[in-house]
Amino acid sequence: MIIVSACLCGINTRYDGKSNFNDKVSELLKQGKAVLVCPEQLGGLSTPRPAHEITGGTGAEVLEGCAKVVSANGDDGTCYFIKGAEETLEIAKQVDAKIAILKAKSPSCGCGNIYNGAFSKSLIEGNGVTAELLIRNGIKVYTEQEIDNILL
């Protein structure tokens, strides 16, 4: 079973109440190969919600307690992002997922590059909080941009 970001399958979980529909990821759901997660909803955030970015580091530093996830208004949402990552990991364990395909650049789901915390659309190297936790637990994480390279 593959863990996938719910917004990639057309579910309106995004911070602005919209989705990031991707037909190839959605096809995995239709084939019964995927389980949907939205870490930010699983962590207790509402939809729509303010956009958040990681400040002071990446998902790795958030998990280590030395960076925060803050909204554009400056509110600290770190606890929700950590909770969402933990809940996603629990789902991944329950379905014995070895692979996750998560939304690129997100402070939760991003893998390889994420927004830099300045709400300027600029990227830094690193992973979102959920992607980092899944990787630390042996799950291979890809973004939707890499789906053509994944042997499914």
How do 34-37 and 68-71 pair as beta strands? Answer: unpaired
Q: For residue 52, state whether it binds ligand SF4 (rule: CB under 6 A).
A: no
| 35 vs 60 by CB, closer to ligand SF4 | 35
| H/E run at residue 119 | none
Beta carbon nearer to ligand SF4, 85 or 151:
85
Cis-peptide into 48, omega within 30 deg: yes
Interaction residues for ligand SF4, span 86-115 (CB under 6 A): 103, 106, 108-109
CA separation for the pair 84, 129 (Å, rounded) = 9
Instruction: List Cβ neighbours of 91 (8 Å cut-off, separation of 6 or more).
Output: 3, 35, 37, 42, 97
CA–CA separation, 129 and 108 (whole Å): 5
When asked if residue 60 is in the footprint of ligand SF4 (CB under 6 A), the reply is: no
> Shortest Cβ distance from residue 13 to ligand SF4 (Å)?
4
Q: Assess 29 for contact with ligand SF4 (CB under 6 A).
A: no
**Does residue 13 bind ligand SF4 (CB under 6 A)?**
yes
Q: Which residues sit at the interface with ligand SF4, rule CB under 6 A?
A: 5-7, 13-14, 38-40, 103, 106, 108-109
